[in-house]
Structure 1
């Protein structure tokens, strides 16, 4: 195993651990249902996408969810929803940014990622995730209010989440990614 492969494995491990820790530091946003919490756990995965490619970014997300599922979660719906949110948000950003690698493409990716995540999670929450959540936790109110939860909770929450994450991603991309790219180049020497 060469030095760049060792560096990559170490970075995947560090980014996955940081992502898990950041997932634990989640906060409810005002005016949203309490089960919808905001965190910046997708930032390490974004770094993995940019430094090492899509496969590594997805791997970091998967490791974060597996660790969270085994150590923290008392039910499977939250981690599954988080996995789907992370993938539906970050993959469009990565695909759009990689084509031209400009600030404009990054911002376009963030907008598309926010809209795609909002769309995907609205559909999945309406038909699958919220009904399962209500069934697992035996909460009849969730069954009776799925449409309201999606329109008043899920849709606006994901738009706000996408925008807030987008601001952090933009800052990380302009300030931290250049430093990490130089560090990565040194590891291949």
Structure 2
């Protein structure tokens, strides 16, 4: 049984993580394609609750929220190998964002922290997803579906995967900073009352 004070992951944290996981799952459906040549790559808001869990609760909470979102999405969108590839990519992207933000949050304590956080998270997301798409994700998808690229794999990564992740990283980072600053302002307002 969970103790409300002695457990490192209290019932309160469990509820918060569950709510943020459900919210992250729902916000994944609020998505838009941003590159005409890759309409299957969609930008969504699902990483915002994951980052809130990371910064407001703990890195472990952020990782759990990311995993919870991926599991919920996998279960409710259909259990298939092809779906698993996309959801695995989604999870890896979220984990990359969480770990990048955590690292900057621990190492940088000045006014430029948010700018550094957004830039570092964007660079890491772009590098990790580009390498994974070149060596694993895209070749696996091609082998399983018989899909034919209209240009080389390298061009696909350079002209679709990398730009998509640059846009996603900047977008997620900027929206997160805005939401986080608003939530901090709200907390300060409540404390004064």
Decide: shared fold, TM above 0.5: yes
Which residue does the alignment assign to 1:2? 4
Q: Shift in Å at residue 100 of structure 1?
A: 4.2
Q: Which has the higher contact order (CA 8 A, sep 6+)?
A: 1
Are 1:62 and 2:67 counterparts? yes
Shift of 1:180: 5.8
* Equivalent residue number for residue 182 of structure 2: 175
The SS at the match of 1:76 is helix
- Find the counterpart in structure 2 of residue 154 from structure 1: 161
Say if 2:127 is the partner of 1:122.
Answer: no
Equivalent pair of 2:93/2:125 in contact (CA under 8 Å): yes
Q: Distance in 2 between matches of 1:159 and 1:39?
A: 14
Q: Tell me, in whole angstroms, the C-alpha distance in 2 between the residues paired with 1:102 and 1:172.
A: 19
Give secondary structure in 1 for the equivalent of 2:40.
Answer: coil
1:51 match: 56
When residues 71 and 163 of structure 1 are mapped into structure 2, their CA distance, relative to the original with a 3 A threshold, is same
Whether the 8 Å CA contact 2:35–2:41 is kept in 1: the answer is no
Alignment of 1:19-30 (within 5 A): 19-30=24-35
Q: Quick check: which one's helix share is greater? A: 1
Kept after mapping to 2: 8 A contact 1:51/1:181: no
C-alpha change, 1:136 and 1:35, in structure 2 (3 Å) is: same
Are 2:59 and 2:98, in contact at CA under 8 Å, matched by a contact in 1?
Answer: no
Measured in 2, the distance between the counterparts of 1:41 and 1:92 equals: 17
Gaps of 5+ in 2: none
- How much does 1:179 deviate? 3.8
Q: 1:30 to 1:150 in 2, by over 3 A?
A: closer
Query: Which runs of 5 or more residues in structure 1 are unaligned?
Result: none
TM-score, normalised to structure 2, is 0.86
Deviates more, 1:7-16 or 1:72-81: 72-81
Q: Describe the superposition over 1:45-103 as per-residue Cα deviations: whole angstroms up to 9, x where unpaired.
A: 11111121111100000010011111115421110111111111221112212334444
Q: Is the 8 A contact 1:92 1:109 kept in 2?
A: yes
Structure 1 length as normaliser, TM-score? 0.87
